[in-house]
């Protein structure tokens, strides 16, 4: 399973470490590797941006809960990257460039793409590093979880299809609806496998949290 990373999915992930934190130290240590405050802050600001973009104002308690969730996400990313490297996986520069080219197709021109990067505080090199890390983790999933070969049983399809048929009726062709439902079920199974895989890796990892809320 390949997940494309579009620029719009990481808008707001600006490096706010200096502006947002009086503590520049690491937020955690994962298997001996420090997790920087900058990485945490950029992820947190992106997540908060998603809510603000939808007009949702979070309470102090909700912001604290969001920070806790983001910290776990950052730690998980480090663990996944470490395991990908240990497994001998690597991303070719050509693959990153191809992904970048696909993303640029969402912009009217190269200039507009570069302006978007600049407005969000990214250099092209920083953005390509994000793409490389994402592709590396996808390689790990593909190598360890065989996500491409997830199967959906007839019983699962029929049960879920009935629910969607009630919702859409005759608005959507049956064949098209079946394809849609199959993909949903595959995605759900893939997410479950990924979640269990991450839990296993975390259980094998040494994690020290240095940030409290």
Asked if residue 71 is part of any domain, the answer here is yes
Instruction: Provide the pLDDT for residue 12.
Output: 41
Asked if residue 1 is part of any domain, the answer here is no
Asked if residue 2 is part of any domain, the answer here is no
CATH no. for residue 27? 1.10.4030.10
Say which residue the tokens 């240990």 belong to.
86
Instruction: Provide the pLDDT for residue 120.
Output: 67
Instruction: Provide the pLDDT for residue 9.
Output: 46
pLDDT tens, per residue, the chain with 213 residues: 444 344 444 444 433 333 344 457 899 999 999 999 988 998 898 888 889 889 999 999 999 999 999 999 999 999 999 999 999 999 999 999 999 999 999 999 999 999 888 876 678 888 898 899 999 999 999 999 999 999 999 999 999 999 999 888 778 888 999 999 999 999 999 999 999 999 999 999 999 999 988
Closest CA to 137 of 2, 40, 6: 2
Asked if residue 34 is part of any domain, the answer here is yes
Instruction: Provide the pLDDT for residue 138.
Output: 95
Say which residue the tokens 């990373």 belong to.
5
Q: Write out the chain in H/E/C secondary structure.
A: CCCCCCHHHCCCCCCCHHHHCCCCCCCEEECCEEECHHHHHHHHHHHHHHHHHCCCCCCHHHHHHHHHHHHHHHHHHHHHHHHHHHCCCCCCHHHHHHHHHHHHCCCCCHHHHHHHHHHCCCCHHHHHHHHHHHHHHHHHHHHHHCHHHCCCCHHHHHHHHHHHHHHHCCCCCHHHHHHHHHHHHHHHHHHHHHHHHHHHHHHCCCEEECCCC
Asked if residue 143 is part of any domain, the answer here is yes
Q: Which residues neighbour 100 within 8 Å (Cβ) at sequence distance 6 or greater?
A: 127, 128, 131
Segments forming the whole domain that contains residue 159? 7-209
User: For helices 154-168 and 174-203, what crossing angle results, to 10°?
Assistant: 120
Asked if residue 46 is part of any domain, the answer here is yes
Number of domain units in the chain = 1
Instruction: Provide the pLDDT for residue 154.
Output: 96
Asked if residue 37 is part of any domain, the answer here is yes
Asked if residue 117 is part of any domain, the answer here is yes
């Amino acid at each position: 399973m390949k997940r494309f990373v579009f620029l719009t999915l990481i808008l707001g992930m600006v490096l706010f470490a200096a502006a947002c934190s009086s503590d520049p130290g690491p937020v955690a240590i994962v298997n001996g590797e420090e997790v920087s405050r900058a990485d945490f802050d950029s992820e947190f600001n992106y997540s908060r941006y998603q809510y603000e973009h939808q007009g949702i104002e979070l309470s102090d308690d909700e912001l604290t809960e969001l920070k806790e969730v983001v910290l776990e996400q950052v730690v998980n990313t480090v663990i996944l990257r470490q395991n990908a490297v240990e497994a001998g996986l690597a991303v070719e520069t050509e693959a990153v460039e191809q992904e970048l080219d696909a993303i640029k197709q969402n912009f009217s021109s190269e200039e507009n793409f570069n302006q978007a990067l600049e407005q969000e505080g990214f250099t092209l090199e920083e953005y390509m590093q994000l793409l490389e890390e994402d592709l590396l983790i996808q390689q790990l999933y593909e190598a360890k979880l065989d996500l491409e070969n997830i199967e959906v049983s007839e019983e699962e399809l029929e049960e879920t299809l009935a629910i969607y048929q009630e919702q859409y009726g005759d608005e959507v062709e049956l064949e098209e609806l079946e394809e849609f439902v199959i993909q949903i079920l595959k995605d759900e199974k893939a997410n479950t496998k990924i979640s269990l895989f991450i839990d296993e890796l975390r259980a094998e990892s040494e994690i020290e949290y240095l940030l409290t809320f």
